[in-house]
Structure 1
Amino acid sequence: MLKSKTRVEAFLKKQEMLSADVDLKDCVRLFMEEMDKGLSGESSIAMIPTYIETENPIPPGKKVVVIDAGGTNLRTALVSFDKNYKPVIENFRKYPMPGTRGVVGKDEFFATLADYIIDLVPQGEKIGFCFSYPTEMYPNKDGRLIKFSKEVDCPEVHGEMIGENLLASLKKKGFSEKRDVVILNDTVATLLTGMISFPDQVFGGFIGYIFGTGINSCYSESNRNIHKLKGLDDAHYQIINTECGSFGNPPQGLIDKELDSHTSDPGHYRLEKMVSGGYFGQVVTRTLEKALREDLFSAEARSALEDLGRLSTKDADDYLHNPHDESNVLVKALKDQDIADKEVLFFLINDLLDRAAKLASCALAGTVLKSGKGTSPLEPLCLTVDGTTFYFSFEFKTRVEQYLREILQGETQRFYEIVRVEDAPLLGAAIAALTN
C-alpha cells in the first residue's frame, strides 16, 4: 500500500497536482489580494455588490411571492414568517426551467415565468427572485443577466433586466398593480437564511458558501470599503457576492491548465474548474489519462481503463466511497486486476479530492477573514454552507474543517460554526424581498 501511495504522490508532484504541495496560507493571501482589488475595480474575483442589506427586521405575517431558478427545475411559493421567524411556505410548486428543454426566446422566457406566478402575485406584497446565474446588480435590486449557464438555452435573455421584464410580462397578462422585485443568487440567499434559522444563538456575522456544481461565497461588507461604487451611505453595509470560483491565481497544475485551455471560456473561473462538482470528474479523467501514459498502472490495468471516456464526478467519488461496488464503472473495469492497481486509482482520486478540499477551504477562509468577524468565541461567525458536493463527497466536509482550523489559528484565529439550512434559496429570497 505504501509503495502505491508513494508512486502516486511522485506522479502528482511531477504534474504539479499534489495536495501536499498546496501552501494554504499563501493561497489565502493571494485570494484576499484579489478580493481587495475586486472591491476597488478590476479583479479575477468580481466582488459583485448586491445592494442587499442585512440590518432590517423581517416583518411578521407579510407574504411575498418567491421564485427559485438555478438549475433544471424552477420553484415558486408564497412565503411569510411568524414572529419567531418560523417560515410558512404555501402554494409550493415546481416547474421546468424555461430553456432547459430546447431554446426559447426572450418573450417566451418571461411569459413562462409570468404564467408560473400570475395567480400568486395578487397575494404577495413583493417578489423575491433567487436567480442563480451571472448577473450584474443595480441599486433598485434588479439585475441584468450577463449570460446563462447550466445548460439554459435562452440567448435572447442575455443582457436583459430580469425583474423589469418579468413585471412587463405580468402586465401583458392583466396584472397591473405595482410590485417590486428583488433579485439575488443562491449564495446570498444561503447567507440570509442562516440569519433567521438559529434564533437562540448569538452570531457575530454571517457568511454564505456554496460548494456543489460550482463554488461561491458571500459576506456583508461596509459600504465605505466598496471603492468602485460612488455615492453609497458609509453608515450602511451590503452583501458582496464574491464569485470566488473565478479566482485567477490558484496554484494550477499542468493538468489544470490543460483542462482550462479546452473549456469554452479559458482563463476564466480557474478555481471552479479545479475543485467544483461540475468539473472534478474532468480533472480525474485527464489525470487518469496522463497516469496511464506515464505507466502508473500495470499493462493489464491500463488496457482496462484507457477506453472509459469522460468520468463523472459521481463515478470518481463513488469509487472512494466503495471500491468494491461493481455497479461503478471504475470498479468494474479493475475487477480482475491486481490490488496494487486498485490502490493506485484510490490514492490518485483521493489526493485530487484532498487538494480540492484544501483550495475550497482557502476560498472560505479568505471570505471569513475579509468579513472581519468571528474574533470572539462569544460571537462566532455563522457559516451557512449549501451544496451536495460539500456534504456528500468522500470525507470532504471533514477535510475542509481540518484545513480551516490550520488556516484560522494564531494571529488569524477566528471562531465560527458551520451550519446547513433546508430550502435556503426559497427562504433567502423571501427574506431579501421582505427586508429590502
Structure 2
Amino acid sequence: VVVIGICSIFIKMGSYQPYLQSLKELLHVTDAQLTTVSDRMLQDMTYGLQLSRKSKTQMEMLPSFVDSLPDGSERGAFIGLDLGGTNLRVLLLTLSDPVDNGSKPVADIKSESFKVTKDLLEGTSAQLFDFIAEKMASFAHKNGLVGKKLPVGFTFSFPFDQDRINHAILKAWTKAYHIKDGVGDDVVQMLHDAIARQGDLNCEVVAVCNDTVGTLVSGVAEDQNCQIGLIVGTGTNAAYLEKVSNIESVESQGADRWMCVDMEWEYFADTGCLDQFLTEFDKQVDASSPMPGQFIFEKMISGMYMGEIVRSILCKLAKVDNLFAGNISETLATTDAFLSRYVSDITEEAIAEHGKTEVVTKILSSVGVTPSSEDVVIVQLVCEFVSTRAAHLCAAGVSAIARKIKANHPDENDLVITAGVDGSVYAGHPTFDTMLEDKTAQLCSAHGVKVQFIHAKDGSGKGAALIAA
C-alpha cells in the first residue's frame, strides 16, 4: 500500500527521480539473490552443527539443552528473568488447572520492567548481576514471594556455551553492553553469587536460555506446532527445533530426541557472504558502530541500526542537493540522531493517512530540518526502501530455517510449521510483519514447507519461566 501510494508521487518528482531510482535499485535484493542468501544460510546451519566444519561459518548454532517443551501439564509458580537490550524484566508465571475442561492451563502473569542504566552497561559484571538480584528482591516483596523457594528461568540475550541447561559460559557481551569482565564465566553462577550477596531471596536458577529459545518455548505454549523462535527488535536472532542426532557436540540419546538450537544468526554475514549487498551506507553504519566488521546481518535488519541507515542516506541525499535544499542540520549530522521508531512512525502515517505529513514534519523538525512537500515524500520512500530490504533479508533467513526443518521431516509433504516472533521491529513497524510473512511464503513455496507466524508477545520472559516449569 505504501509503495503504491508514494510511488504515484515519486513518478512526478522530476530531477529527484534518477537518484531515488538508483537508491531504490541499490537497496533492492532480488528474489534470486534472496534465494542465494537462503541457500548460504542453510549451508552454514549444517556446517555449524558439525564439529569438523564449524570453522566454515560464523553462526554459533549453539545447543540450548532445552529438549522438553511445554505440553499443557505444567502447574505451579515460576520466576522468569529476561535481560535484553537495555531492560530487565522480572516475571511471575502461575499455572493452574484449566477451566471448562480446556486443554491449556490458566496462566497468570505478573511482571515488572527495569531500565539498565548506562553506568551498568559500561560497568562490571558484579554490578550488573547485583542490580538483577536487587530488582528480583524488590519484585518478591511486592508480590508476597519472600521466603518462598521458586524455580527461576533466566533469559540471557547474549551468546554463551552450554553443556547443560543450568550452566552457561559467556562468550561475548553484545548490543549496547561494554562490560569490562565476565566473558568466560558461568552466567548462572554469577547470578547465584549476586543472589547470595543480596541475602533476601531463596531462589534457584534451574535453567538459562537465549531470548530466541525463550520465544520459541513461549510460542509452543500457544501453538504446539511452533518450531521457530525469532527476535526482530533492537537486535535479531533465531532459534529452531533440531534433531539431536544432527548436533555433533551433543550426545544423542534416542533417534526421536529434539533440542532447541540458538543460531546466533547475527553473525551470519561476518564471513563476507553478503558483501555484495552492502551499500556505502551500511559500511558507514558498521564503521561507526562499537564493533566494526561484526554482526553485519543484524546491522542490515534490526532496530538498533535501521534508523541510522536512514539517517546516513538522508545526509547523502542532502549533500548531492536532492534533499532539504542541500542543508544538513547539526542534529541530523549526529550519529544515531534518527531513531528507528521514526522509521515505523513515518511508514505508519504514509499508510494510514496518505497525503498527510504531520508526523514526518514533526520528526524532521526534531532533528533540525524544515522539509518541503517533496522532501517529505523522499523521506517516506527512503524509510520504505530500508524497511523492505530488512524484512526480505529476514525472510531469507526464516526460509532457510524452514527448509532445514523440512529436511528433518522428509516424509511429510506440504509441511506447515509455526514461527513465534517478538521484538520491537516486528511488533511496532506497521508493514514489517506482512512483508516478512509474504516473502517467506514466496521463498518457501518450492520446498514443500509453509511458515505461519504468531506474535509471541513478551515471549522471552514467559518462555524462561515455562522452561523452568
Residues 36, 379 of structure 1: CA spacing in aligned structure 2 closer, same or farther, 3 A cutoff?
closer
1:6-405 aligned within 5 A: 6-12=17-23, 16-20=26-30, 23-40=33-50, 41-42=54-55, 43-55=57-69, 57=71, 59-83=73-97, 84-89=104-109, 92-97=111-116, 103-117=122-136, 120=145, 122-152=147-177, 154-172=179-197, 179-198=204-223, 203=225, 205-227=226-248, 229=249, 231-235=251-255, 236-248=257-269, 249-250=273-274, 251-297=277-323, 301-303=325-327, 308-309=332-333, 310-322=337-349, 323-325=357-359, 326-329=361-364, 335=370, 337=372, 339-372=373-406, 380-405=416-441
| Code of the aligned partner of 2:133 | A
- Runs of 5+ unmatched residues, structure 2: 1-9, 98-103, 350-356
Counterpart Cα distance in 1 of 2:186 and 2:73: 28
Q: Which moved more, 1:301-310 or 1:272-281?
A: 301-310
1:123 positional shift = 2.6
Task: Say which SS state the counterpart of residue 261 (structure 2) adopts.
Answer: strand
Select the residue among 383, 392, 417 that pairs with 2:452: 417
Query: What is the TM-score normalised by the length of structure 2?
Result: 0.80
- SS in structure 2 opposite 1:156? coil
With normalisation by structure 1, the TM-score equals: 0.85
CA separation of 1:189 and 1:55: change in aligned 2, threshold 3 A: closer
Compute the displacement of 1:21 (Å): 7.8
Task: State the AA in 1 paired with 2:364.
Answer: V
Aligned AA (2:39): R
Distance 2:258 2:121 in 1: 41
Distance apart, 1:65 and its partner CA:
2.4
CA distance in 2, matches of 1:111, 1:336: 48
TM superposition shift of 1:384: 0.7
Deviation at 1:344, TM superposition (A): 2.9
Partner of 1:183, secondary structure, is: strand
Shift of 1:72: 3.2
Residues 351-399 of structure 1: per-residue CA shift (max 9 Å, x gap): 1221111111111111222222788689621111111211322421121
Q: Once the 2 structures are TM-superposed, how far is the Cα of residue 140 of structure 1 from its aligned partner?
A: 4.1
Q: Which amino acid aligns with 2:49?
A: L
Alignment coverage as a number of residue pairs = 423
Percent of aligned pairs sharing the same letter: 22
Whether contact under 8 Å (1:110, 1:169) holds in the other structure is: yes
Structure 1: unaligned runs, 5 residues or longer: none
3-state SS, counterpart of residue 425 of structure 2: helix
Aligned residues: CA RMSD: 3.2
Per the TM alignment, residue 113 of structure 1 is displaced from its structure 2 partner at its CA by 3.0
**Contact in 2 for aligned 1:52/1:141 (Cα 8 Å):** no
After TM superposition, give the deviation of residue 58 of structure 1 in Å. Answer: 5.8
Q: Report SS of the residue matched to 1:301.
A: helix
Give the distance between the partners of 1:21 and 1:206, measured in 2 at CA: 25
Q: Check 1:340–1:305 CA distance in 2 against 1; reply closer, same or farther (3 A cut).
A: farther
Using the TM superposition, name which of 79-88 and 27-36 deviates more: 79-88
Letter in 2 for 1:218: A
